[in-house]
Structure 1
Amino acid sequence: MDVFFSGSIRGGRSDVDRYAALIEILEGHGDVLTEHVGVEAVEAKEQADGLTDGDIHDQDLAWLRQADVVVAEVTTPSLGVGYEIGRAVELDTPVCCLYRPDGDHELSAMIRGNDAVTVEEYREVAAVESVLASFLETHG
């Protein structure tokens, strides 16, 4: 199973360690196409690789088309994550959004109000392992 993991990169990296832990869980269920989201220096790597914004956009869309499911950590608001979720919904790819209600921002109604998106609230990564396993078994 190919998993597209989405988390904030340019919108804020305060959750990068959480992303890495979630990616590690997901790797137990399939191939995570976007494991770089859990790497602290992801933007520096993109620059070192000579990737333009257009290159990043096109690569992400290719991965979205390849993905069997999308898992997005949406506590830190991100235009890119929202865009990826919208495109996944358009592609009829199952989407699971993970959200910590104790964060600094309310979850957008465009995510919470979308019947095509599963929203799971959590506080600790360990608490979502079984939720992710169930989502992946159901949709993978």
Structure 2
Amino acid sequence: MKIFFVASIYGREKNKINYEGIVNILKKTGNKVEADHVLKTRKEKLAALDNEGKVDFHKKVIDGVKASDVVVSEISTPSMSVGYLISLALDCNKPTVVLYSGEKEPHILSTIEKSEKLLVLKYRGIDDLKDSLTDLVDDASDQMDVRFNFFISPKIGAYLDWISKQKKLPRAVYLRRLIEEDMKKRKEFKA
């Protein structure tokens, strides 16, 4: 399973042990974990990038979220970018595990739309996470999307292209939302 790790680069110095511990736990379970954008990017280097470099970095991170099976984020350090990436993951229908330490629940959790794909865990230290994080990732993997391909007429294809541009969302997201709306209307359906 491909896991994309998201956390504040600016909070890495303060949370380095936790970030590395989380990534190590995820790797020990046999998952492919992408975390270099957090663990190896220094905030000074990021701040020194020109606009084109910042756009390239941002695109790589977004592509990483989209290419992953599950997103795991550590939100103990507030970050609008991390909040955006969590929202993006949920919009892409990715199971998303959110971790935090500290006494208070981070404000960002009150701003993210609730979803069955969003799994939240408060922890005290890395030792707390060894079993619970593995269990949470297993739960998240149970929620991974199933790929479903089918044939459509050129007319339907043209419509999907048009509606995709109008609504500024991928065709698959549009179709998924149509099906989800229909599922809500059908009271006899039990998942």
Q: Compared with structure 1, are the counterparts of its residues 65 and 52 closer, same or farther at alpha carbon in structure 2 (3 Å cutoff)?
A: same
What amino acid is the match of 2:19? Answer: Y
Normalising by structure 2, what TM-score? 0.62
TM superposition shift of 1:49: 9.3
Once the two structures are TM-superposed, the CA of residue 66 in structure 1 deviates from its matched residue by 0.9
Aligned to 1:90: 91
Unaligned runs of 5+ in 2: 142-191
Structure 1 residues 136 and 78: alpha-carbon distance in aligned structure 2, compared to 1, 3 A threshold: same
| Counterpart residue type for residue 86 of structure 2 | I
- Long gaps (5+) in structure 1: none
Which residue in the other structure is 1:24 paired with?
24
What TM-score comes out, normalization by structure 1 length? 0.83
Per-residue CA deviation, residues 97-124 of structure 1 (Å, 9 max, x unaligned), is 1111336x7433124x623421101111
The verdict on how the C-alpha distance between 1:11 and 1:132 changes in structure 2, with shifts beyond 3 A counting, is closer
Change in CA separation of 1:32 and 1:10 when aligned onto 2, cut-off 3 Å: same
Which one has the bigger helix percentage?
Answer: 2
Residue 42 (structure 1) aligns with: 42
Q: In structure 2, how many angstroms separate the alpha carbons of the residues matched to 1:25 and 1:75?
A: 18
Residues 33-72 of structure 1: pairs in structure 2 closer than 5 A: 33-39=34-40, 42-43=42-43, 52-72=53-73
Secondary structure at the counterpart of residue 32 of structure 1? strand
3-state SS of 1:52 partner = helix
- 1:8-38 CA deviation, whole Å, 9 max, x = no partner? 0136641122101111111113111123423
Q: Tell me the percent identity.
A: 27
**1:35 and 1:131, CA in 2 relative to 1: closer, same or farther beyond 3 A?**
farther
Whichever residue aligns with residue 79 of structure 1, its letter is: M
Cα distance between partner residues in 2 of 1:107 and 1:69: 22
**More relative contact order in 1 or in 2 (CA 8 Å, sep 6+)?**
1
The number of aligned residues is 137
CA shift at 1:137, angstroms? 1.9
In the alignment, is the contact (CA less than 8 A) between 1:69 and 1:94 conserved in 2? yes
Q: Retained in 2: the 8 A contact 1:99–1:122? A: yes
RMSD: 2.5
- Partners of 2:129 and 2:64 in 1: how far apart? 24
| Rg (Cα) greater in structure | 2
**Which residue number corresponds to residue 186 of structure 2?**
none
